[in-house]
Structure 1
Amino acid sequence: MMSLLHLDSSADHFDDSVSRRLTALFADTWRRLHGTAGYRYRDLAAEPVPPVTSAYATLGRRVERHGVVPAAGVTALAEDPAERREWALTLPLVTEVLAVDTVLLGVPMYNFSVPATLKAWIDRVSFPGAFTDPDGGGSLLGRTRVVVVTARGGAYGPGTPREAFDFQTPYLRAYFGNLGVTEENLSFVHAELTRAGDVPELGRFRTLAADSLTAARTAVIVLASRLANADTATMT
């Protein structure tokens, strides 16, 4: 059974959020092909992941001194209730990622980067050794696919005046690459100029905004279908 973990991080409600609508379109396409049994959804804005604390950092450093430690070993290394609480908050999120074939992220651009809700999730699942094979030392995410769907109020694509202001794409590319997600398994879909309809200075770009949204909608449908077909081919 193929599986998908769908994460949204926008502070906006569905009707006001381009990233939520695009990830929903991807998920709908995926579910039509695979069914609902392998689908898991987490709304990082509605149910925020608690920020990491000093107890998380202390436990993480202790684990690192022991090398790559399996989950049961981390539990044994926790020395007080605060550390056990931090690990209890962390392990289910790590387990979710390890249990799926594809991770889908909805990422609006906030101040040129990612929302704090997504950063809190990233900080917590990045527990030392969480995605490292305790036997061979390789990444446990070597075959995991990650799809990042972004929404930007302005234009930050290649060749635009604000290309250098895009800290979403390079950050997430570096982050997931460092975890062992391969470049071929990491996909980005961008919707640009999403504020052209309500910011007067961007009004002249409404046609470009509409074209970008149409292209993004097409891209998520094609990508969800392509990944589903690839999964089917792998199973046969």
Structure 2
Amino acid sequence: MVKVLILGGTGEARALAAALVERPDTEVVSSLAGRVRDPKLPVGDVRVGGFGGPEGLADWLAAERIDAVVDATHPFAQRISASAAQAATRSGVPLLMLRRPGWSARPGDDWHWVDDLPAAARLLPTVGERVFLTTGRQGLAEFADCPGWFLVRCVDAPEPPTPAQMRLLLDRGPYTVDGERALMTEHRIDVLVTKDSGGSLTVAKLDAARDLGLPVVIVRRPPTPDVEKVATVDAAVAWLDRSGRGLDQ
């Protein structure tokens, strides 16, 4: 029996768990950080909560006899990815990073790239006054002193500080272009702020912004550890097969 740890709460992590859990010679454990109150759970065994840093994760990998780790966390989950890389080195367990590609601009897009949320907050006064903010509930403090009005969409309610003029919308994808266009029109949005999360679940907001001729402020992805990377679930399964650890069907 081969034991695989999947780090993540992403759609790719759930799809990978579903692809592996039916294999009779494979045991899958998915780990969620526990930051979302009602997460979508993958099939198979699930653990929720942190490991106590790279040392704690390395100890857990050894204690649980993990044969391979796939980091399928969110592209902006920088801390856990760094911990996974350090823990894999300490424990000698093979590690793969599964990252969906980022978004690419299309004709008609008016994108403004920034390195982080503080840079996005500094840029906002020059591009718009009615902001559709879709960067998640963490980091809203960076926009607390920004002028203008904000429509903030996230899965769970944020804690203060938050923008002074704000309407909160609790929702999760997938979204439609028609729905996003109607939302932006209803609230007279003149600028969209997002992270380069990639994927299809939330790309509709970019299509809607293009249709409406709105500028988009996009936060670049943080750097990733120097580990092997793939962009699809199929490639991750192939990597596990090539590892020579009995994962072939």
- Scaled by the length of structure 1, the TM-score of the pair is 0.39
Structure 1 or 2: larger strand share?
A: 2
